[in-house]
């Protein structure tokens, strides 16, 4: 039963949307997983999807799945590129990983219009401008 499972809280893990490059015509954005822990995480599974309302209609993107064998301590891994057209949707990233034999999971949601310049920070470890959820 669910009540019998240990409560493993996710700490020192972040998902970030970072501005990779910019030209007069376009901007290139990537989504990263950042491990701020002092230990590696293993068997990382991430599912991503976008959903919400655009122009008065309900919109859903495809669900993408990513597997990363190991993310070292104080390191990052590229999850996927992200299109600016999805910034008006909820962008959800569901993360599961192991530390030893313990499993951890957390859902990260970038709300519509949260990926905007006024919310930018210098993302730790990655050292790029963007928006991060911890």
Name the residue range of residue 36's domain.
2-133
Please give the pLDDT value at position 4.
59
Structure tokens at 69: 């064998």
Q: Which backbone phi and psi does 89 adopt, to 5 degrees? A: -110, 170
CA dihedral 132, 24, 50, 45 (to 10 degrees): -50
Instruction: Name the 3-class secondary structure at 4.
Output: helix
* SS3 state of residue 119: helix
Q: What is the structure's pLDDT at 55? A: 85
As averages over each run of 10 residues, the pLDDT of the chain (134 residues) reads 68 96 88 97 97 92 97 97 94 96 95 93 95 96
Backbone angles phi, psi at 85, to 5 degrees: -65, -20
Which CATH number is 88's domain given? 2.60.40
pLDDT of residue 79: 97
What integer pLDDT is reported at residue 5 of this predicted model? 59
Task: Specify the number of domains making up the chain.
Answer: 1
């Amino acid at each position: 039963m669910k009540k019998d499972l240990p409560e493993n809280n996710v700490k020192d893990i972040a998902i970030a949307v970072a501005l990779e490059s910019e030209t007069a015509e376009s901007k290139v954005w990537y989504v990263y997983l950042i491990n701020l822990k002092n230990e590696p995480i293993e068997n990382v599974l991430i599912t991503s999807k976008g959903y919400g309302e655009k122009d008065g209609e309900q919109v859903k993107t495809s669900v993408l799945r990513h597997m990363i064998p190991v993310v070292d301590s104080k390191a990052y891994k590229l999850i996927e590129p992200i299109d600016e057209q999805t910034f008006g949707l909820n962008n959800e990233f569901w993360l599961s990983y192991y530390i030893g034999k313990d499993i951890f999971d957390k859902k990260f949601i970038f709300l519509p219009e949260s990926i905007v310049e006024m919310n930018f920070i210098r993302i730790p470890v990655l050292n790029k401008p963007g928006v991060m959820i911890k």
